[in-house]
Structure 1
Amino acid sequence: MNKTILSAAIVSVVSLSSFSVFADGPQIYGRLDLSITHSDNGTTTQNSKSGTVIENNFSRIGVKGSDHLSDDIELLYKIEVQVNGATDSDDVFLPRNTYLGLKSKMGTVLFGRNDTVFKTSKGNAEAFAVTNAGYNRMIGIPVRRADGITYYSPKIAGLFNVHTTYLMGDNYEDTEEEQYAVNIFVGDKKLKKSAYFLSAAYNTIAGYDAYRAVAQVKFYDFKLAGLFQNTTSQSYSNKTGDSYFISAIYNVNGVNLKAEYGKDKAGFGKYFKNSALSSTDYSEATDVNIDSLVVGADYKLSKSTTVYAHFATYSGSYRVANSGPVIELEDDNITSVSLRYNF
């Protein structure tokens, strides 16, 4: 190899290493998360396919960082995309949280695409997040929106925080409704700074009026959580109902044993959408009654690598527009074994 080229390469590597050590520069991060899954009907799998498939559980890559504009103001930024290259998908990249923001003693304001505060109001209550047994299989409200403003308050009176999402109306000409969400919470969703987390949230985003209450508590190695939500369609006033789930996690020598039971009487989740007989049935469904039960476990092989598995079962029924016979949904049973790597 030409000595000049070799020297230049060495200098470049040393320079990049020095920058990462001494400079407050951007951080590259990501996740690879894949499952081998068997499903009877594919109603809740990531690609809605039955049989035995490989699923991509929202693998992603991103860049994030900050810049101190003054002693009191900090610039925040994030660019993140979902990566589907490991599975057969026409969309190799999909948008995730991407924003610019400012942080000060008055709180944090973010501009762009971000998780709505209605989504984050759930804390860590669900035991099987970002899998085919995630809570949106039962409770279906869009959780990430673009063209919005997110505000995170500092702790108020040393007791609680207020988070808000507001979507710019002129970017959403297909609706006349004001689109916003509000979340008020106390405690710590990771259950590290405190042994509890309580939140209450309201949402008018994406054609849904909804309110939610969440509770998480920790007793030594045992965690218990619950979520209740009432959802009403802004397009179909008779399409409304309650949903809830309760979850438990028990840590035994580093293995998290997990169980979750869910009940849905609203019919907005992925399981119902993929099980209803027609789009008309879905939009006019009433008397929805769906049950889910999920059991599983996870174990950290290292700080960055987690292996986990679960079994989920779904069943239910509904009517159309408060009339006609009860229509039974096809039961679905799903088994997954997964590996997750964070970097």
Structure 2
Amino acid sequence: MMKKLLLTSAITIVSIPVAQAAPEIYGKAFLTTDYINDEADYTNRVDDAPEDSDVDSVQINSNFSRLGLRGSEAITVNTDVIYRLEYGIDIDGDDSNTFTSRDTYLGLVNKDYGEFRVGRNTSVLGYVYDPMVARAYWDNLGKRTLNDNGGVAALNMLDYTRSDSSVLWIAPEYKDLQLVVQYVADEGSDDNKDKDGYGAALKLDKDSYTAAIAYSKDIEASGSINTLDFVTDDNAEGLINYGGDAFRGTITVDLDEYIDMSTPLTLGAVYQQADYDFAGSHKEKGLIVSGKMALENFAHPASVYLQYNKTDNLNGIDNNNSDQIVLGGEYELKDNVIAHAYVGQNSADYTSPLDPTNSVADIKVFAVGGGLEYLF
């Protein structure tokens, strides 16, 4: 009788499921209303080029809104399994891709050996982003081509965002230093076996400043684009390959830590070079300087910022340059509810890769807007 009782108890204990940590649901909803004036002067036309344009519009825009699921579960005393499934959501519904994949990975984190993530990961350049303070419509780093139909856009320097089929290692922090290493598998044809990508970022995070560097080689999937659909030359397809290497260095300084100031002021700077893998390309060189100042005498935290972006040889094409300046402000209604307002302008000389000495278009984009960001 006792044996049967013990056996029954043992079976009952085994059948009880092991407690699992509940996943966390999180996200961001960020909507703005923007007035936009975009102009395109196609000074040296090629066949089937669009007509010169000067368009005013009012737009409702979803700005990197997202919904995610993340969590972890202990598998040993020192090691947890971790996971994240995060998707961008086009809240205003004007994009054909309502859901887009962001960071989606499965991994392990160990107290001694750091964190390993396998899947779709933020690239190493994304880990050195501190000086970029412009938001909403002007959070456009990486927008570097016109739309497929030649539509006007505010153009800016290269920015690798996420990498498919990648392994990311985040080393344990050591004396305020954080190291991130990434490997990206090229799952293309056998001819491209040498295009596996890799990169690393190193960041020093002190109380009064941060300094960081990042380097990537063939991180972004080696794919080609048509820079403009009206470039009809048969050689245009495949001309620009975004394999290559990129270097980014950043620094931010809390100036009030060194100078007696009535309001906190943070200054930032970015220098970046990108070297593309197509014949005749020039190094794309980018510079960003920014300042963000806290405002006093408000019921809730408030700040204003100014950011200037300059890119030479956009897309690796000589004389393809852009300048951008943005003034904006933020007001925290609550810790997770932020009101935004901003105004900015982008000017670009857009050249054809078929003949970089000739300007395809002079682009000018002006935008002013504001909206609400809700974090949950």
TM-score range relative to shorter protein: 0.7 to 0.9
- Asked whether the equivalents of residues 100 and 110 of structure 1 are also in contact (C-alpha less than 8 Å), the reply is yes
Q: Are 1:261 and 2:308 counterparts?
A: yes
Name the aligned partner's letter for residue 165 of structure 2.
D
Distance 1:236 1:341 in 2: 46
Name the aligned partner's letter for residue 68 of structure 2.
G
Distance 1:152 1:240 in 2: 29
TM-score, L = length of structure 1: 0.79
- Which of 292, 299, 307 aligns to 2:339? It is 307
Report what 1:317 is aligned to: 349
Distance 1:213 1:119 in 2: 12
Q: CA RMSD in A?
A: 2.4
Report what 1:329 is aligned to: 362
**Structure (1/2) with the larger helix percentage:** 1
Inter-CA distance 118–235: structure 2 relative to 1 (3 Å threshold):
same
Report what 1:30 is aligned to: 27
Distance 2:59 2:190 in 1: 39
- Which of 319, 330, 354 aligns to 1:287? It is 319
Q: Are 1:98 and 2:111 counterparts?
A: no
Name the aligned partner's letter for residue 252 of structure 1.
L
- Which of 196, 214, 226 aligns to 1:178? It is 196
Q: Give unpaired runs (5+ residues) of structure 2.
A: 1-18, 41-54, 144-155, 221-242, 257-263
Distance 1:173 1:83 in 2: 35
Q: Which has the higher contact order (CA 8 A, sep 6+)?
A: 2
Report what 1:39 is aligned to: 36
Identity %: 20
Inter-CA distance 266–119: structure 2 relative to 1 (3 Å threshold):
farther
Report what 1:219 is aligned to: 255
Report what 1:231 is aligned to: 274
Distance 1:86 1:172 in 2: 38
Distance 1:252 1:199 in 2: 27
Larger Rg: 2
Inter-CA distance 82–53: structure 2 relative to 1 (3 Å threshold):
same
Distance 1:172 1:256 in 2: 50
Q: Are 1:244 and 2:241 counterparts?
A: no
Q: Are 1:146 and 2:164 counterparts?
A: yes
For residues 87-135 of structure 1, the C-alpha deviation after alignment (integer angstroms, 9 at most, x for no partner) is 222222111111111111111100101101122222x210114543433
- Asked whether the equivalents of residues 247 and 274 of structure 2 are also in contact (C-alpha less than 8 Å), the reply is yes
- Which of 117, 124, 129 aligns to 1:110? It is 117
Instruction: Using the TM superposition, give the Cα deviation of residue 140 of structure 1 relative to its aligned residue in structure 2, in angstroms.
Output: 2.2
Report what 1:46 is aligned to: none
Report what 1:198 is aligned to: 211
Q: Are 1:166 and 2:209 counterparts?
A: no
Instruction: Using the TM superposition, give the Cα deviation of residue 318 of structure 1 relative to its aligned residue in structure 2, in angstroms.
Output: 5.3
Residue 118 of structure 1 aligns to a residue whose secondary structure is: helix
Q: Give unpaired runs (5+ residues) of structure 1.
A: 1-21, 44-48, 189-193, 269-283
- Asked whether the equivalents of residues 261 and 291 of structure 1 are also in contact (C-alpha less than 8 Å), the reply is yes
Inter-CA distance 303–24: structure 2 relative to 1 (3 Å threshold):
same
Residue 132 of structure 2 aligns to a residue whose secondary structure is: coil
Name the aligned partner's letter for residue 317 of structure 2.
A
Residue 248 of structure 1 aligns to a residue whose secondary structure is: strand
- Asked whether the equivalents of residues 76 and 100 of structure 1 are also in contact (C-alpha less than 8 Å), the reply is yes
TM-score, L = length of structure 2: 0.73
- Mapping for residues 119-138 of structure 1, pairs under 5 Å: 119-122=126-129, 124-129=130-135, 131-137=137-143, 138=156
For residues 234-291 of structure 1, the C-alpha deviation after alignment (integer angstroms, 9 at most, x for no partner) is 12442422101100000003221100111100313xxxxxxxxxxxxxxx73122321
For residues 152-209 of structure 1, the C-alpha deviation after alignment (integer angstroms, 9 at most, x for no partner) is 01124x2522101111223676844231111111115xxxxx1111111111212131
- Asked whether the equivalents of residues 124 and 215 of structure 2 are also in contact (C-alpha less than 8 Å), the reply is no
Distance 2:189 2:125 in 1: 19
Distance 1:172 1:87 in 2: 36
Instruction: Using the TM superposition, give the Cα deviation of residue 86 of structure 1 relative to its aligned residue in structure 2, in angstroms.
Output: 2.6
